[in-house]
Structure 1
Amino acid sequence: MKYAVKMPKVLQAVYPKRLWSINTADKVLYLTFDDGPIPEVTPWVMDTLANFNAKATFFCIGDNVRKHPDIFEQLIARGHRVSNHTMHHVKGWKTPLVAYLREVDSCQNLMELEAGQEIHKLFRPPYGQLRSKQAKALQKKGFQVVMWDVLSADFDTALTPEACTKHVIDNAQAGSIVVFHDSKKAWPRLKLALPEVLKYFSEKGFAFKCIP
């Protein structure tokens, strides 16, 4: 396994200005979905969330917003939060600073144009890759860098849906930011894991909210 399902506390301490979880004693989970919107998955995610009266934060790829503006608009209309995941899902470690900032700005401008309103400046770096210079420059622009503390790993084609479900159930707690993906790659695991996670935590008395 090349990634941590539960983000180590030491890593969170090294980058304290990045948002890893929400400090709360309330039974609330913050589900997030990366890489959409796409017609094959995102509408299903919205319908599934609605079955549990759940709201979530969607970190959108700008190019997918451009291709599927109707689905993007549905996310807003249904009370979810739309946020920035760069224009073309670029890797921070391999992208120069100026080019990276251009990717983020292009995504933000496009989302605001399509939404007809300002969009909260929440940003998640694709692959979790972000250089310190990139993070500082984004923070100066008013962006909150949002990471996570629990990874479903639904992107991992070697995993079963049951394993992804277990990742979340075993590690999420009040205030956790949990990562799923509304992507074709994640779909074989997401379609089974997401309803199970929503059902399990709903029965435990949890609510599901957008990142504030």
Structure 2
Amino acid sequence: MNIIPVKTPLVVKKMFPKYIWDIPTAKRVLYLTFDDGPTPEITHWVLKTLKQYQAKATFFCIGDNVKKHPEILKDILAEGHTVGNHTQNHLRGWKTSTKLYLENTLTAQKTIDSHIQNSESRIKNLFRPPYGKITNKQGKQLISLGYKIIMWDVISFDWDKNISKQTCLNNVITKAKSGSIIVFHDSIKAQKNMKFALPKVLAHFAKLGFTFEAIV
């Protein structure tokens, strides 16, 4: 049973007001995000699927994966999406010292930046903590360095082998609303549920007049 709810409760958002959980708007806009890539088997499929709906998204990349697959990072940016930092090695903040956590995050940033030629494309200020687990001290120090800590309003649970593809889809279409930040994963672990749910999420909300924008 998942301890994390599909939709982040308002009380949690109020407890951590300096983190970004959603982006309030009067427009019909959703913010799709993808964690844990880039992954050769998955990320290009995601890019192709998003393009079919003129959808933009934000990819929170693991630095070590960028190091292995820098060409995919360039493809993400070439398609007009934004890139955020997801640490170099997918660290769990609650079990990592602040010093090591910051060092690992800055290493990821250097890795990302080193593979982007156009300085205007560099996205330096978006960060999502792996597992959503970050200590207050870690968060404060990252914010002091200029990072925006991007959490989520709705999480699909696409990586969870204990839920069905339909449940993954329902998690998003029943909980997302204008301004929601939604979490998917461009990872091998999540691909079965994500590949089922993502096209249907795009089709469902596009039919309702929603657009999909990247976080900046």
Partner of 1:106: 107
Match of 2:13 in 1: 12
Offset of residue 96 of structure 1:
0.2
CA distance in 2, matches of 1:103, 1:144: 17
| Aligned-partner Cα distance in 2 for 1:53–1:45 | 12
**1:168 is aligned to 2:172:** yes
User: 1:192 Cα deviation (Å)?
Assistant: 0.6
Instruction: Indicate which of 160, 181, 185 corresponds to 1:177.
Output: 181
In structure 1, the residue matched to 2:58 is 57
Deviations 1:66-111 (CA, angstroms, capped at 9, x unpaired): 0000111100111000110000000000000010001110011111
Deviation, 1:2, is 2.0
Query: Partner residue of 2:43?
Result: 42
TM-score (norm 1): 0.99
Identity score, percent: 49
Aligned residues: 212
Give the CA deviation at 1:120.
3.2
Which shows bigger deviation, 116-125 or 15-24?
A: 116-125
Determine the C-alpha separation between the residues in 2 that align with 1:142 and 1:54.
27
Q: Secondary structure at the match of 2:184?
A: strand
The residue number in structure 1 matching 2:208 is 204
Q: What is the match of residue 154 of structure 1?
A: 158
Distance 2:184 2:213 in 1: 14
Alignment partner of 2:194 out of 180, 190, 196: 190
Q: What CA distance in whole angstroms lies between the structure 2 residues aligned with 1:15 and 1:177?
A: 16
Provide, for residues 113-160 of structure 1, a one-character-per-residue CA deviation record: whole Å limited to 9, x for no partner: 101223231000000000000000000100000000100010111111
Among 149, 158, 181, which residue is 1:145 paired with? 149
Q: Alpha-carbon deviations, 1:16-39, whole Å to 9, x = none?
A: 000000010100000000000010
Tell me which amino acid in the other structure corresponds to 1:10.
Answer: V
**TM-score calculated relative to the size of structure 2:** 0.97
RMSD: 0.7
Q: 1: CA distance between counterparts of 2:91 and 2:142?
A: 15
Unaligned runs of 5+ in 2: none
Q: Which runs of 5+ in 1 are unaligned?
A: none
* Equivalent residue letter for 1:103: N
* Aligned: 1:135 with 2:139: yes
